[in-house]
Structure 1
Amino acid sequence: MQRSFLTRTLTVISGVAAGLSLAACSTSGGSDEKVQGQLSAAGASFPAAIYQRWFQGLSSQGVFVNYQSVGSGAGVRQFTAETVDFGASDKPMKPEAIAKVSRGVVQIPMTAGAVAVAYNNPGCDLSLTQKQLAGIFLGQITNYNELGCDDKAINVVHRSDGSGTTYNFTKHLEAISPEWKQDVGADKSVKWPTGVGAKGNEGVSAQLNQIAGGIGYVELAYVKGDLQAAAVQNASGEQVKPTNATASEALGSIDLGPDLIGGNPNPKAGYPIVTFTWVLAYKTGNDDKTTMLKKTFNYMLSEEAQSQAPELGYVSLPPDVVNQSKAAADSIN
């Protein structure tokens, strides 16, 4: 009887131990799954190409990001509704929009781009003053011989859809031309004084390649085929062509401010038509996804990731901005 009691006791203890062991395995597996799990994000289409490249690289580390390129406006709406783990926007959120997010908002510059003045006129090396640039898009300058090149009609091509590219380009025109500011203004979509419209950077680039003498504005990555990028005058009077180095110089001169959302539509240094693009993160309430989010953001800001920007047509963030962005990413909890 004593042996029987001892046998039953050992059996019970073994069963409990086995149960605890199984529970520990399940808990461990669940924890690993959370650390090496999935994140959902949505927003700006401009940085989508480089974001997808980065997220592909991040997947080898066990973090999978499902990024939906739906545009800045839709990204902000989804972020505000808390249906994603983070958002993305080419325009920083304004205070009234931030007030609608109960968990608070951290806006993190992640990459940047230059808006090039692209044209199709082989043999013409275009270098524009601010007055000339505004005059072209106001419809006042209609021939390349007014710009120091051979006789050829200018054919303006602009975006037909609302876009962050248009917003940043017209912000620059507004900053350099009182006439543009008064008659046209700056927005994602404006009433163009001249030219024909095309949808997307792809559409404008394709249209320019088909039209002799065409001139328009596109993200730098879309200056291809027969297109060239014009040199544009900055606020110091220097005429500069868009490159990773000249755009990065301009970005480095911009004071982002304590919230990292500052901008300058007419910088004094480097190529003057540049813009940051931001990741939108929740300041609090990230719970068990905090580690994954920080890992994701720090990877995007790593030297390895940032060095891929030029080959994809983007601009590497200046070192000071990278440091500020890393500090902002580390502040989420």
Structure 2
Amino acid sequence: MRIKQLVISAVVSAIAMSSAAAADITGAGATFPYPIYAKWAENYKKVTGTGMNYQPVGSGAGIKQIKAKTVDFGASDMPLKKEELDAAGLMQFPVVMGGVVPIVNLPGVQPGQMKLTGAVVADIYMGKIVKWNDQKIVALNPGVKLPDDEITVVRRADSSGTSFLWTDFLSKSSPEFQKTIGAGTTVKWAVGVGGKGNEGVAANVQRIKGAIGYVEYAYAKKNKMQHTQLQNKNGEFVQPDDSTFKAAAAAADWAKTPGFGVVLTNQAGKGAWPITGASFIIMHKSQSDAAKGREVLKFFDWAFKNGDPAAVELDYVPMPEAVSKLVQQNWKTELKDASGKAIL
């Protein structure tokens, strides 16, 4: 009798564990939003018991994984164009916004003290400016003691939405950069040392004296890295923070942009940070597992309604309420089960 009870108990436990695991959702993609997705997942599981496993493998890998249907959703900081979405039967929506910042390793220079322009950074990343005391940098930074050190360029080695935002800004700042390197999640870099993910770029910059790289702002702030100011489209030198990211997003027309594919780099507007971007979730329009698709939407619905404080704490910018409502309306018309019925 005792053995029978133990067997029954084990079976019940296994079923419960199987049910819990079945409810968990999986995603992969951009490293940019990983800190906030991880925090939301932690808080969501406490409330609902449903887990969310997110792999920060880079935007390019996330797009590949959702196209291959190996995850429930992909994530990218480069919005896919309508043609690519339609060809693969996908839809996308923005979830949170933030900024990409230049980081440097220059002893004696304070975080946020140095000023750079997009054109100067483009010249650095094309290998045209090779020393920190180059006259173009000195002219922007009167009174700042700049060393006669060689510049080591650090960039992403993986397919990255952060790289897309970075190269898109540099392409808009320099016709030569646009022509020779261009914008993309992966590009043919002229110079530099590669690092995988924000952590790889940050590790190389911290290790190499005279290095410059780029990471998302929340990562730079959390790790107390030396960021620089940047000149925006209005000619202002601005610091990265919530207010300058919001200023960049203020004029975005989400409703009229196909697939919500707004790119927020080099936006006009007072105080706008020039490398601002949204992070996008990508899903299949036809959900072969409608219950799992519904769980994904329930997670992001919860995030829209309850996740703003955590986003602000981690230096992200929540989506405006009007945009999140547009997104939720879009779910009802875009996402269907195998029979063509809306999953919500």
With normalisation by structure 2, the TM-score equals 0.75
Is the contact made by 1:119 and 1:230 (CA closer than 8 Å) also made in structure 2?
A: yes
1:262 paired residue number? 262
Offset at residue 96 of structure 1 (A):
4.2
2:118 paired residue number? 130
Q: Extract unaligned runs of 5+ from structure 1.
A: 1-28
SS at match of 2:318: coil
1:52 paired residue number? 38
Q: Separation in 2 of the partners of 1:227 and 1:166?
A: 18
1:12 paired residue number? none
Cα pair distance change 1:271/1:154, threshold 3 Å: farther
Equivalence map 1:1-333=2 (5 Å): 37-59=23-45, 60-101=47-88, 104-121=89-106, 122-123=108-109, 125-141=113-129, 142-144=131-133, 145-148=138-141, 149-152=144-147, 153-162=149-158, 163-223=160-220, 227-256=225-254, 257-269=257-269, 270-285=272-287, 287-289=290-292, 291-302=294-305, 304-331=306-333, 332=335, 333=342
4+ aligned runs moved over 6 Å, structure 1: none
SS at match of 2:182: coil
Offset at residue 273 of structure 1 (A):
0.5
Percent identity over the alignment? 35
Is the contact made by 2:154 and 2:213 (CA closer than 8 Å) also made in structure 1?
A: yes
Which letter does structure 2 place at the counterpart of 1:85?
D
Aligned pairs, number:
301
Q: Separation in 2 of the partners of 1:203 and 1:78?
A: 22
For residues 15-53 of structure 1, the C-alpha deviation after alignment (integer angstroms, 9 at most, x for no partner) is xxxxxxxxxxxxxx99xx69x933333333332332122
Mean Cα displacement is larger for which, 219-228 or 47-56? 219-228
Q: Extract unaligned runs of 5+ from structure 2.
A: 1-14, 336-341
Cα pair distance change 1:182/1:78, threshold 3 Å: closer
Offset at residue 208 of structure 1 (A):
2.1
Cα pair distance change 1:154/1:113, threshold 3 Å: farther
Offset at residue 222 of structure 1 (A):
3.2
For residues 278-332 of structure 1, the C-alpha deviation after alignment (integer angstroms, 9 at most, x for no partner) is 1123334463445433321211212x31221243343332344333333333443
Is the contact made by 1:159 and 1:200 (CA closer than 8 Å) also made in structure 2?
A: no
Which letter does structure 2 place at the counterpart of 1:143?
W
Offset at residue 64 of structure 1 (A):
2.6
Cα pair distance change 1:280/1:194, threshold 3 Å: closer
Q: Separation in 2 of the partners of 1:206 and 1:42?
A: 22
Larger Rg: 1
Q: Separation in 1 of the partners of 2:154 and 2:60?
A: 21
Offset at residue 77 of structure 1 (A):
3.1
With normalisation by structure 1, the TM-score equals 0.78
